[in-house]
Amino acid sequence: MSLVTLFLLSVMVFLGGQVLPGNVGRAILGPFADQRAVDALNHSLGVDRPLLVQYGSWIWNFLHGDMGTSYVFRAPVAPFVVDALGNSMKLALVAFVLVVPIGILGGVIAALNFNRPLDRIISLGGLSVTVLPEFVTGIILILIFGVWLRWLPIAAAWPKGAGFFTQLYYLILPSLPLFLVLFGYIARMARSGMIEALDSDYTRTAVLKGLPWRTVIWRHVLRNALLPTITVIATQTGYLIGGLVVIETLFRYQGIGSLIFTAARGKDFPMLEAGILTIGIVYAVATLVADFLYSVLNPRIRLGAEQ
């Protein structure tokens, strides 16, 4: 499945980056350049070959670590992409480490207070912040914590050689909009999983056989309730990546999102293609890891596969 997505993405990236823009040489050299110069450049860039050949060699090179040469920097794309990916991972990790436990906790608390005011507040609040575009929550958070309270820096650009905690300090504000978008989804899934598990026969049995409430929740309810949540967390990686493009632009953070954005702005197609395809690979890996985790945590699937 993830492979189909990756293939489709690569075709789209290829079409978008190399076919639709038309004459690459003309685009680089401008409308007044000599036709022979344009042809020569097209030939040296290899864009005068048949499409299938171009696609094949592009993928082949990509898989061997050659992501092409940036039109803008006139340098290999790969180091830029690797650096940016590392930065994005840091930001995404901060957001994830914050949102997964807090989101699950929110959902569990909401479910345990089903239909009471606390449930309403968590559910409605979570839903409202989830539907807002990241840059809107980002702007509002910047205004509150960066401009009015002056607690947090408004740009995610730490001084060179900053240590772990300084970097973390700079990453809190950018990770908050991502946190808010994901919080609603995770909390909602955790809540509905909990409600279903609380309502089940095995929970009733556990309560009736006299187990303490704490044990019922930990051993019986949570284990079953959180399985669907794990799947949701994995599918959210896609949204997280979409959000990164916006957030990194807003906070001027040198990640893969702002790399894509800058490349798109500058029509630097090799950079744009490499960035997007890299994101696609990250997404595919995340989905695989989630499938694996799910089967580890869910003995029913594991046993089913062995039979």
Partner 1 sequence: MSATDTPVSLPTPDTAQRSPWGEVLHSLLRSGTFLTGLAIVVFWIVCALFGQHFVPYDPLASDIIDALTPPAANHWFGTDQLGRDVFSRVIVGSRDILTVAPLATILATIAGTALGLVIGYFRGIVDDIVSRVLEAFMAIPVVIIALLAIVALGTSKITVIVVIGLSFAPIIARTVRSAVLAERELDYVAAAKLRHEGALHTMFVEILPNVIPPILVETTVRLGYAIFAVATLSFMGFGIQPPSPDWGLSISSNYGMIGGGFWWTVLFDALAIASLVIGVNLVADGVHGAFND
Residue closer to partner 1 (CB basis): 142 or 206: 142
Spatial distance between the Cα atoms of 58 and 42, rounded to a whole number of angstroms: 15
Asked if 265 touches partner 1 (CB under 8 A), the answer is: yes
Asked if 143 touches partner 1 (CB under 8 A), the answer is: yes
* From 37-45, 103-111, 242-250, 291-299, span contacting partner 1 (CB under 8 A): 242-250
Identify the residue among 15, 37, 93, 296 touching partner 1 (CB under 8 A): 15
Residue closer to partner 1 (CB basis): 175 or 236: 236
Asked if 29 touches partner 1 (CB under 8 A), the answer is: no
Residue 168 contacts residue 93 (beta carbons within 8 Å): no
Residue 225 contacts residue 193 (beta carbons within 8 Å): yes
Asked if 239 touches partner 1 (CB under 8 A), the answer is: yes
Spatial distance between the Cα atoms of 108 and 103, rounded to a whole number of angstroms: 9
Asked if 280 touches partner 1 (CB under 8 A), the answer is: yes
* From 1-9, 42-50, 92-100, 161-169, span contacting partner 1 (CB under 8 A): 1-9
- Residues 151-190, one symbol each (x = binds partner 1 by CB under 8 A, - = not), give ---xx-----------------------------------
Phi, psi for residue 235 in degrees, rounded to 5: -70, -25
CB of 173 to partner 1, least distance (A): 12
* From 50-58, 78-86, 97-105, 271-279, span contacting partner 1 (CB under 8 A): 271-279
Identify the residue among 91, 142, 197, 230 touching partner 1 (CB under 8 A): 142
CB of 34 to partner 1, least distance (A): 25
Residue 216 contacts residue 224 (beta carbons within 8 Å): no
Cβ neighbours for 274, distance < 8 A, ≥ 6 positions apart: 62, 67, 68, 77, 78, 81
Identify the residue among 203, 229, 249, 278 touching partner 1 (CB under 8 A): 249
Asked if 70 touches partner 1 (CB under 8 A), the answer is: no
Asked if 125 touches partner 1 (CB under 8 A), the answer is: no
The pair of three-digit structure tokens given for residue 155, joined into one six-digit string: 């740009």
Q: Which residue has the tokens 């740009």?
A: 155
Asked if 140 touches partner 1 (CB under 8 A), the answer is: yes
CB of 276 to partner 1, least distance (A): 6
b or e along 193-229 (b: 16 or more beta carbons within 10 Å of the residue's beta carbon)? bbbebbeeeebeebeeeeeeeeebbeebbbebbbbeb
The pair of three-digit structure tokens given for residue 145, joined into one six-digit string: 């914590």
Burial class (CB in 10 A: 0-12, 13-18, 19+), 236: buried
Spatial distance between the Cα atoms of 307 and 305, rounded to a whole number of angstroms: 6
The pair of three-digit structure tokens given for residue 65, joined into one six-digit string: 């670590």
Taking CA 56 as the corner, what is the angle to CA 52 and CA 58, rounded to the nearest 5 degrees? 115
Count CB neighbours of 266 within 10 A: 14
Burial class (CB in 10 A: 0-12, 13-18, 19+), 47: middle
Asked if 245 touches partner 1 (CB under 8 A), the answer is: yes
Asked if 264 touches partner 1 (CB under 8 A), the answer is: yes
Size of the site for partner 1 (CB under 8 A): 50
Question: Contact positions toward partner 1, by CB under 8 A?
Answer: 1-2, 4-5, 7-9, 12-13, 15-17, 20-21, 127-128, 131-136, 139-140, 142-143, 146-148, 154-155, 238-239, 241-242, 245-246, 249-250, 260-261, 264-265, 267, 272, 276, 279-280, 283, 287
